[in-house]
Amino acid sequence: MPGTMSSVSIARRGAGVGYKIELETHARREYRDLPARVREQVADAINDLQGNPRPPGSKKLVGSGGYRIRTGNYRILYTIDDAESIVRVYRIGHRREVYRPA
């Protein structure tokens, strides 16, 4: 996946549990541009991925090898590296826009 990655703890809770979360630069920008209420929901959903990267309701995406979770009308697209215990978030956006090429 292109783009610079960095580790992040969006809501800073549950340190040291399960998978490490990484946001690509593009996903970080999309996160910052979300409305405050939605940003909180997205942060909770991303932090929940630390304990279970394949929660109920997550869906494997066809063709990309990634996964998606829903939070309201917003989607979080990510990949999972089980060998390294890393979840890489590469897109965050409204459901009508998130699947379009960046």
> Per the structure block, which two tokens stand in for 76?
């979080």
pLDDT 10s digits, 30-88: 999 999 999 999 999 999 999 999 999 999 999 888 999 999 999 999 999 999 999 99
Q: Which burial class, exposed, middle or buried, applies to 60 when counting CB atoms under 10 A from its CB (0-12, 13-18, 19+)?
A: exposed
In a domain, residue 90? The reply is yes
DSSP E strands in 1-102: the ranges are 5-7, 20-24, 59-60, 67-71, 74-81, 86-94
The CATH code of the domain that includes 62 is 3.30.2310.20
Task: Evaluate whether residue 89 is within a structural domain.
Answer: yes
pTM of the model: 0.83
When pLDDT is cut at 50, 70 and 90, the band that residue 12 belongs to is very low
Q: Considering the domain boundaries, does residue 99 fall inside one?
A: no
